[in-house]
Structure 1
């Protein structure tokens, strides 16, 4: 983060909370009509396609059976059949989840050679990339115009961890899931942007043995090992070990060194009782990272021309970021009966960061800036206990899918009492930054804040017929948030018991491969501890409430899949008023339409696309009424295509592109970032060498070396990452 004492949740180290913006829903009737028509057309297409498939099946029933063994493309890259972790909802497939979701598989991550979280969800139009590789911003995203909450929006195997400045080792995950929108019932307090869940690789029935060597520009080398399998009597014990080392010079001539290891174990203790243990450790050091640019004091209505980001011109001496993450989780699962499973789990995560980071306070259109340096050490801990019962029962002709549970979690934020934030010089973005700063080495930490949540939850999916079902869920949370001074005295407190966050959904399945749904869910997010950019520095604001309404359809056919969702999110507005006091006033509205589809054409071509139309504005309140929300684009579109070359078996070529429309930089709408498009290409070749399956991969991100200003946070920007090249070779043995 760019300022060691800004604002977010209970932590002084977070960035200023973006000021919400909203549009009245009644003014958007055209969007609603288009959305309804789109949903109807997609449903009609599904029905017509099914009728044709049934007719074709009848005609081909008499044909002889032919068995073909070959490695084929995934005809449905949306992975609607993949199971996702829904927190208090339990695990269910994307198709059966009445909310908008995205799943990115490990194969997708490898194909695209990702370096940051924005790369992971590059093909999802609902996700705007606010991240920068090799920096403290590498895990920042905006979903449906809302920034994800770094304190509450990230999970590993459904368990919480503090994500700020943490770039996880993507090679260690089986899939990465995104649950879009409000998630109060599923996971408790958190912003309504969504939840990202990293699913670690688990023990497999068949042995796994692979080694992967990669190279990324400018000269970053990586090595990754993946080992797994089972052993013992009746294969009772399973293991999965992943280890990665990465080191070299980054695209802007900075440096990176990363070491990570993860281990997953399980044991079938009896026929009905099983145990699992997962751990992940990573230490990551980056140096000379590109600084963020702050525009809160900027004079003018247009930003300067975009500068290059592939060199050290913006980088003052001495910058570095060191993060250390430890994650542990263990649990027991007991099969009480064929229909009921009991589980209990505990997880602990801790992360520390030592951060010497430049922030350039941009002054004018000529590119002049004041160069501030933030130097600090920070730490976070997260503990959670959870017990759940999941099962089915019948009451007469009605079937119930039940989830019952209770959880306790505590988050502790530590900050350095003697951190440094000071002006070290001036400069111009079009010239070389000559300002230097020697990092401090002795920082003493103190508990700045803690947050405790105790919750009980229950959900019931009532199957009324083969086609109709209703979901109802409630979470009851006792919440306490405390702030502390350097001497250990409590300086602020907010406590509220019996906070209820409900969810409701109605689902209709005209066929097993299609779900139409409408859903409603509420969320509460922790109140901000106001940072030192504001006149009310140190004040603890109350939690913000949000509501989400969604209408959607998902269909998963043999050769194609499609989704559509119409949504509206209402969130309490928080922004700085004319007296520079951070206030909660009015409401922010986000409403839009998401469309996605993918299809396989013939045996070689796979094409897909993704669209998001978004309205966002402030409503009511005393300021900024009618203005767009900072960081919320009106329109985003993605497209991707892949081609399996028939003349060279195993060779696949791919390309994708993403367009993001213009984005407001602040709640007053005085500055606007222009829209931009980014294109990427890739290739993979699977073959056998010396009797071993071998895969070569090549990728180019930002193919045209597009220069653009990227929105990071309210009043924060950076030059977008330049063109980069990646190659890798993986051998299974």
Structure 2
């Protein structure tokens, strides 16, 4: 369980109990844990109030000036409904929109970079998009990205953060809660909704080497009895990035409306549009067996990697609507629908390095793909008692369809040869034949129809149990360009969830849980010899024992987990196969402590043991799973001086252990450490609240490799200076 802590806002102050841990802060400091960027100028006052045994103080700011309160102490749990984090038998991490600003976050990578369970697999500073693994397992961008709990197409896409009030990470399996999805977890984006009081803010931002951002956030209510509400967000971003040939252009618009038809019945509508284009992107780098290993990332000439014809563009739109009806004090029902579409255009290169001198061949893949998603969900949630036993039940049903369209073009299937280059010298490479194929065909369609039910049974004030089950009818068809079905898969699995919870005190929970899940099967990439082979769903199961606590001056979280997942990978003959099991066993622990009214420390650690088992290929059997570090450590120190309360400064960082690049463990990327520095200052100008933020990410310009998909690597982002100013009026 991890939560946000926002300065100067009492509702956030208690909520910040971010990243609980079994480790004391003193131990974290003594072992030299790296430190973090998240700053919060109000935590000192909160700690002082706790020392006095009082409730947290109210901030002397009018309600009209305050942003809407994000419920960082709660998390959406799919078929479980909304629960307090401390009351769920799963590992969670919630980040509010205000915390995102303090982190200078532009992607989910930034939001969760100080979570020890999260390791970056790519960054959109140079790669197509930002992606991360959780406990060594990748997030499924086709099934595990949600908007308000419903599936959203995010294949190689970064959702802009401005339209969202908070982002929730559910670590581990989610079969009962959300249906099909990889065991890495679920990332749920919660839309900003209308505010009861008028809210208006304008933000301008800067990122080196010349990217400027302007954002507007407006909210409020109108009409008789303020029955109509609105929330509008507009964003424009444009400028040259720090990378060679780098330029980013981003536009975002979102609108959320609601109508309180009666005091018990509310109708909601929302729309979201985003378009982002980045020049100077790179799909990835592969190092052959004759390359002599992966070189030191600091020796690479980054300008030698991308070419003028390299770019990446995504455009997405979404529409959602729903009805929420309070049936009684203890019962409510809702029904919601969402349509979403993504257009993706890539014209970026894969570099294959064939010798120790750094010589490579550059193959540019140019294509367009489209994704269409539809979701319909209905849920009833309520409470009742049978004698002395209390029940919190959820019953629901849902239907989801996904359709993928691919280019039938040379640029997608074979790519265009740009020529040869070298990692250490700049060479201009072009090909006049490069074009993005506009003729699309339906490549895949999947449907899921599901019914589910759960009962959280409270036996005593301390002891409770969760029983949940989901039945899913899953269908998958894969087509070739002639509309012929090349593979077909159907399944009707039952995925249960069982958990036992014990409250050691009102603020703490010990739990043990068991979860089963299915995920959509993998498919061979166009770099594999058996492309476009597609495989059926993968099954996973997870056991977890954990402890969560959330007190006024300290918080802690400890999870011991074991996951078995069916394995698909690229073998040593460059065939994509599905064989055997990936086994993950580890400890995920983190915590925070207010040392004094001015100083606060927090940090976390993850230890992870991974192994491939029951594999037919002796080159893979017993090896570490690719993309999974054995050890990760995070931490941060925040200072809010008593003599200057509007100011907060923070210093933080993260250590990530080495990772295998491929399933056979023939290559590894080395461990790395990054540091960040940030500050925030709150003041008033002409009677209006203004917040200034500034920081440096990757302070010492550490160059390192990340790895993904079991076959290639990407370069990290460089040192980046960031700054912003927000006027709230």
Alignment match, 1:335: 326
Counterparts of residues 181-220 of structure 1 (less than 5 Å): 181-220=172-211
TM-score (norm 1): 0.88
Quote the offset at 1:57 in angstroms.
Answer: 12
- Secondary structure (helix, strand or coil) at the match of 2:109 reads helix
Structure 1 unpaired stretches of 5+: 1-37, 43-55, 72-78
Alignment match, 1:506: 500
2: distance between equivalents of 1:361 and 1:528? 23
2: distance between equivalents of 1:712 and 1:581? 17
Aligned pair partner of 2:545 in 542, 551, 573: 551
Alignment match, 2:285: 293
2: distance between equivalents of 1:57 and 1:491? 65
TM-score (norm 2): 0.89
Kindly indicate whether residue 86 of structure 2 is the aligned counterpart of residue 95 of structure 1. yes
Aligned pair partner of 2:638 in 638, 642, 651: 642
Counterpart contact for 2:571–2:664, Cα < 8 Å? no
Quote the offset at 1:173 in angstroms.
Answer: 1.6
Q: 1:645-675: CA deviations, max 9, x gaps? A: 2232301101110000111111111111110
1: distance between equivalents of 2:580 and 2:209? 48
Counterpart contact for 1:317–1:437, Cα < 8 Å? no
Alignment match, 2:259: 267
- Secondary structure (helix, strand or coil) at the match of 1:185 reads helix
Aligned pair partner of 1:392 in 379, 383, 391: 383
Aligned pair partner of 2:461 in 466, 488, 496: 466
2: distance between equivalents of 1:663 and 1:434? 32
Q: 1:233-261: CA deviations, max 9, x gaps? A: 11111111111000000111411111101
Number of matched pairs: 672
Alignment match, 2:480: 485
1: distance between equivalents of 2:112 and 2:56? 38
Counterpart contact for 1:252–1:309, Cα < 8 Å? no
Kindly indicate whether residue 271 of structure 2 is the aligned counterpart of residue 279 of structure 1. yes
Counterpart contact for 2:570–2:710, Cα < 8 Å? no
Kindly indicate whether residue 235 of structure 2 is the aligned counterpart of residue 244 of structure 1. yes
Q: 1:571-610: CA deviations, max 9, x gaps? A: 1122234544433222110010011101212221121001
- Secondary structure (helix, strand or coil) at the match of 1:130 reads strand
Alignment match, 1:609: 603
Alignment match, 1:223: 214
Indicate how the Cα distance of structure 1 residues 135 and 196 shifts in structure 2: closer, same or farther if over 3 A, else same: farther
Counterparts of residues 408-487 of structure 1 (less than 5 Å): 408-420=399-411, 421-438=415-432, 439-441=434-436, 443-487=438-482
Counterpart contact for 2:102–2:693, Cα < 8 Å? yes
Kindly indicate whether residue 614 of structure 2 is the aligned counterpart of residue 620 of structure 1. yes
Quote the offset at 1:162 in angstroms.
Answer: 1.3
2: distance between equivalents of 1:40 and 1:532? 45
Indicate how the Cα distance of structure 1 residues 631 and 155 shifts in structure 2: closer, same or farther if over 3 A, else same: same
Alignment match, 2:706: 710
Indicate how the Cα distance of structure 1 residues 309 and 236 shifts in structure 2: closer, same or farther if over 3 A, else same: farther
1: distance between equivalents of 2:436 and 2:273? 24
2: distance between equivalents of 1:505 and 1:66? 33
Counterpart contact for 2:49–2:56, Cα < 8 Å? no
Alignment match, 1:32: none
1: distance between equivalents of 2:715 and 2:23? 41
2: distance between equivalents of 1:411 and 1:404? 24
Indicate how the Cα distance of structure 1 residues 441 and 129 shifts in structure 2: closer, same or farther if over 3 A, else same: closer
Runs (4 or more) in structure 1 with deviation over 6 Å come to: 38-42, 56-61, 65-68
2: distance between equivalents of 1:159 and 1:470? 26
Alignment match, 1:23: none
Alignment match, 2:519: 525
Quote the offset at 1:232 in angstroms.
Answer: 1.2
Quote the offset at 1:442 in angstroms.
Answer: 5.0
Counterparts of residues 609-688 of structure 1 (less than 5 Å): 609-623=603-617, 624-688=620-684
Deviates more, 1:629-638 or 1:284-293: 284-293
Question: Over aligned residue pairs, what C-alpha RMSD do you find?
Answer: 2.3
Counterpart contact for 1:227–1:242, Cα < 8 Å? yes
Alignment match, 2:45: none
- Secondary structure (helix, strand or coil) at the match of 1:312 reads helix
Counterpart contact for 1:116–1:131, Cα < 8 Å? no
Alignment match, 2:337: 346
Structure 2 unpaired stretches of 5+: 1-20, 26-47, 62-69
Quote the offset at 1:491 in angstroms.
Answer: 1.8
Q: 1:609-653: CA deviations, max 9, x gaps? A: 011000001112222122101110000000111111223230110
2: distance between equivalents of 1:229 and 1:148? 35
